Amino acid sequence: MLILNFSHPLTREQITQIEQLSGQTVERVFDLPVQFENEQSYLPQLEALMQTLPLSATELQTGQILVNLPSLNYIAALLLAELHGRMGYFPPILRLCPRPGVVPPVYEVAEILNLHAVRETARKRRY
């Protein structure tokens, strides 16, 4: 499995948690730092970010890909729309959460959210 990481670097412990939750081996993590300027339009910045994507169109459409979204909701929404267009489906995403009672904060993988399954379930509720 490949991870497109648009957030903070993942630790070895987090990668192990991902492998346990998914039942797959993480072959590679692509760190793609996101820093958008609020004073500028987000769409050109999204286009620039997508040009740094290290995967071909074929790899995006056929690979086992997991996404760690950036935390800013506007950028995450734009990124999901772009990835859906390129991949043909919503990719699964990571949800990280702070471990309770630990200072400084340590984040662990809480779950893998299957957005495609959420979409398919929601489609059944349209009627």
**Residues 115, 116, 117, 119: is their CA dihedral positive or negative?**
positive
CA distance 73 to 30: 21
Q: How many domains does the chain have?
A: 1
Average pLDDT, the chain: 96
**Residues 63, 35, 46, 94: is their CA dihedral positive or negative?**
positive
Task: Provide the pLDDT confidence category of residue 5 given band limits of 50, 70 and 90.
Answer: very high
Mean pLDDT of 2-11: 97
Give the per-residue pLDDT at 110: 97
Mean pLDDT of 56-84: 97
The two structure tokens encoding residue 73:
């909701």
Domain residue limits at 54: 2-123
Give the per-residue pLDDT at 127: 77
* pTM score: 0.93
54-77 burial string, b = 16+ CB within 10 Å, else e?
A: ebeeeebeebebbbbbbeeeebbe
